[in-house]
């Protein structure tokens, strides 16, 4: 188990239901960023 | 084989090729949190709280200055400070009141399904229940929490803890 902690600001239309694009995008970006960090950690 | 070694094996087995190639070979299982509704909270301004070190400081685009988050580990501080922090958190959470009805419609399955669909992983991608156990491929636990600055013109920021496990 490899923990990763990330803080990212939501951008754009965060308060627009039902899709909440800003918050969804922030979560998507953190998933990608976490994966990059994890793979980089194993490269080093 | 320990999970840590197992992850290393998966990554090394791909010869640290281009990231997209590694991702293509893997299936993702993204575990849903225990809670159904997305969690929000207010951000505490440390300048106003008069706090010392040992707290999560948050910086980044969209944030003016730095803010502090009352995280679980903050509860290890003395009882007096804990009470102070709980009060500060309750006050900070008031910024959410105008948005509560709207935000209550947003669930973790909605958030995570849309985000998962957008990831670059070309392999299988699925949401699994909180009770699911790790299987083949990448098993990802995440605890997304959105924190709202006191200045409502600013967008909330996402504090995300992730744990990855590969079999």
Nearest CA in chain A to B5: A1
More confident residue, B50 or B38: B38
Mean of per-residue pLDDT scores for chain B: 69
Q: What pLDDT sits at residue A7?
A: 80
- Sequential DSSP letters for B21-64: HHHHT--EEEEPPS-SBPEEEEPBPHHHHT--SSSEEE--TT-S
Q: Has residue B25 got a pLDDT over 70?
A: no
Q: What pLDDT sits at residue B77?
A: 54
CA distance A12 to A26: 10
Do the Cβ atoms of B49 and B65 come closer than 8 Å? no
Cβ B158–A30 below 8 Å, yes or no? yes
User: Could you say which of A4, A17, A28 has the minimum Cβ distance to residue B102?
Assistant: A17
- Give the tens place of pLDDT for each residue, A1-44: 667 778 888 877 777 888 888 888 888 888 888 888 877 877 77
Q: Could you tell me which of B157, B158, B125 has the C-alpha nearest to residue B140?
A: B125
Show the CA angle centred on residue A32, arms to residues B152 and B58, nearest 5°.
35
Cβ A31–B4 below 8 Å, yes or no? no
**Domain range annotation of chain B:** 3-166
Global model pTM greater than 0.90:
no
Q: Has residue B40 got a pLDDT over 70?
A: yes
Chain A residues touching B119 at Cβ < 8 A: 28, 31-32
- Give the tens place of pLDDT for each residue, B95-143: 889 888 998 999 999 999 998 888 887 788 899 999 998 877 888 888 8
List the single best residue of B157, B159, B165, B166 to mutate versus A (max A Cβ within 10 A): B157
Q: Has residue B26 got a pLDDT over 90?
A: no
Q: What pLDDT sits at residue B152?
A: 62
Which pair of structure tokens corresponds to residue B89?
């958190």
Q: Has residue B21 got a pLDDT over 90?
A: no
Separation in Å, CA A13 to CA B66, B88, B124, B153, B158:
22, 28, 29, 12, 14
Q: Has residue B42 got a pLDDT over 70?
A: yes
Q: What pLDDT sits at residue B6?
A: 31
User: Could you say which of B12, B23, B114 has the minimum Cβ distance to residue A19?
Assistant: B114
More confident residue, B157 or B66: B157
More confident residue, B153 or B131: B131
Chain B residues touching A31 at Cβ < 8 A: 30, 115-116, 119, 140, 142, 162
Q: What pLDDT sits at residue B65?
A: 38
Start-to-end CA span in chain A (Å): 18
Predicted ipTM of the assembly: 0.88
Distance from CA of B83 to the nearest CA of A (A): 25
Q: Does A9 touch chain B (CB under 8 A)?
A: yes
User: Could you say which of A2, A7, A43 has the minimum Cβ distance to residue B163?
Assistant: A2
CA distance B144 to B30: 12
């Amino acid at each position: 188990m490899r923990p990763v902690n990330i803080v990212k600001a939501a951008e754009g239309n965060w308060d627009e239901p039902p899709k909440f694009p800003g918050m969804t995008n922030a979560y998507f970006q953190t998933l990608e960023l976490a994966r990059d960090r994890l793979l980089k950690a194993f490269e080093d | 084989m320990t999970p840590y070694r197992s992850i290393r094996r998966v990554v090394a087995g791909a010869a640290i090729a281009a990231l997209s190639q590694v991702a293509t070979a893997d299936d993702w299982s993204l575990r849903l949190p225990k809670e159904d509704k997305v969690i929000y909270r207010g951000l505490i301004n440390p300048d106003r709280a008069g706090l010392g070190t040992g707290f999560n400081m948050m910086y980044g685009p969209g944030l003016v200055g730095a803010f502090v988050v009352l995280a679980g580990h903050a509860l290890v501080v003395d009882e007096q400070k804990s009470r102070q922090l709980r009060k500060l958190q309750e006050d900070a959470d008031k910024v959410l009141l105008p948005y509560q009805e709207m935000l209550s419609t947003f669930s973790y399955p909605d958030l995570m399904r849309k985000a998962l669909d957008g990831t670059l992983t070309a392999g299988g991608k699925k949401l699994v229940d909180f009770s699911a156990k790790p299987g083949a491929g990448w098993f990802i636990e995440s605890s997304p929490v959105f924190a709202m600055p006191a200045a409502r013109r600013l967008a909330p920021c996402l504090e995300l803890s992730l744990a990855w496990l590969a079999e």
